[in-house]
Structure 1
Amino acid sequence: MISPLAYIHPEAIIGENVEVGPFVFIDKNVVIGDNNVIMPNANILYGSRIGNGNRIFPGAVIGAIPQDLKFRGEETTAEIGDNNTIRENVTINRGTAAKGKTIVGSNNLLMEGVHVAHDALIGSGCIIGNSTKMAGEIVIDDNAIVSAAVLMHQFCHVGSYVMIQGGCRFSKDIPPYIIAGRDPIAYCGINIVGLRRRGFTNEQIESIHNAYRIIYNSGKNVTEAIAQIKEEMTMTPEITYIVSFVENSQRGIIR
């Protein structure tokens, strides 16, 4: 299962049933779990931690040092969970002293040319489109869909179950359950189709919709809108998540 044309450092730890194609480079201080497929010309560099059942396509580079001038060679990692598909030429840099690790969860699809910068945190069940670029210390919650050629500013936070239109660029946070698009990027309604596909009930969807009507259509500022939601709405898990996301936003939410 391991090509004689691959290079694997003798200190690397490789699990069972791992397929390694020709011209793969696996560095020292790398841990790779079971049942992974690493296709030709992929590079798994120092500090990479890869779970089980991942498919890593040609030209991917995992664990390269951060593109951050503050990096001073500290011991950091790039950590990938289970059952991810990492397509051609994806780059996932390892962390810096800021957080120490870059994390990609499980069951994600990262399409061709995606860049995940240092100290990023991507949840599970996400789809990231071709050539999307994510700057340092961003956070993407579970089950988000980020379309192709999206530019995401450092420190931004994207909520769960969002759909972001291709070609967007943004420097503010995108709250959960919504569609974001246009130029400049803006709130375009809730992600009804995505929520139904994920099993949300009509009651849950209507509740989410009512919360965003208050945030985006009431004419109130964000602080006033959140106060109204707390006063008038039942604090279901979905509404609690929306309120917590908005209240804890460091960059402010898109409008």
Structure 2
Amino acid sequence: MNGGGRAGGRTGGPILLLAVGLLSAGPPVHQSPDPWPVLDRASATYQTITSLSADFVQIVTNPMIGTPDTTRGRLYQMRPSRFAMRFTAPKGDRIVADGRFLWLYTPSTTPGQVIRSRIPEYGTTGPNLIGQFVEQPRERYTAEYVRADSLPGGGGAVDVIRLVPKGHDQPYSEAKIWVGREDALVHRVDIVESSGQERTVILRTIRVNRGVPGRELTFSPPAGVRVVASDSTRE
């Protein structure tokens, strides 16, 4: 019996040590997928686009106010410097970058005037709404793969990527872009602006390289509307 006990002890020792080692090791660490293949594909796809149009929903949350402001409409882009947002809610509001100036016409909040300024290189009201996130992303951002997700209404699978600017010249501290796995297009952008305001732009019914009606990319101030020009656009 003693011999059997010693044999059991010799066998049980390594097994016990192995069990303790497995318990102390904890759960396996899963490494996040590499975001760069997703971004590289989105960047390459964007370079093939000359024009784009899409229905949009924009949700702006101001931490000082709290209640989100939701607007809707149709977005148009003609690369490199023409861009427009025609709002259906609030109806009549327009944002137009005509290749020379950016026009902000929002009679729903500031009736009787339109603001004319230079076209911004970055931000949420100009031709680079999408391009700023997928043009040369390796040079401009640090990137993190957040998760796999899906678009509502059976819109397909997407990869969500978090971007943090390397420089300090952008008017936002970070952004998340939702890139379609099937088409490599950006379907949604979640932006944390430098002011702390959060802005989400969701694009649906995206059409690429089908042209844009010329009337959408030009703006003429309506009769009686005062043009407020920034210093950089005064003539």
Question: Which has the larger share of helix?
Answer: 2
The normalised TM-score by structure 1 is 0.24
Question: Which has the larger share of strand?
Answer: 2
The normalised TM-score by structure 2 is 0.25
If asked which structure has higher relative contact order (CA below 8 Å, sep 6+), I would say 2
Larger Rg: 2
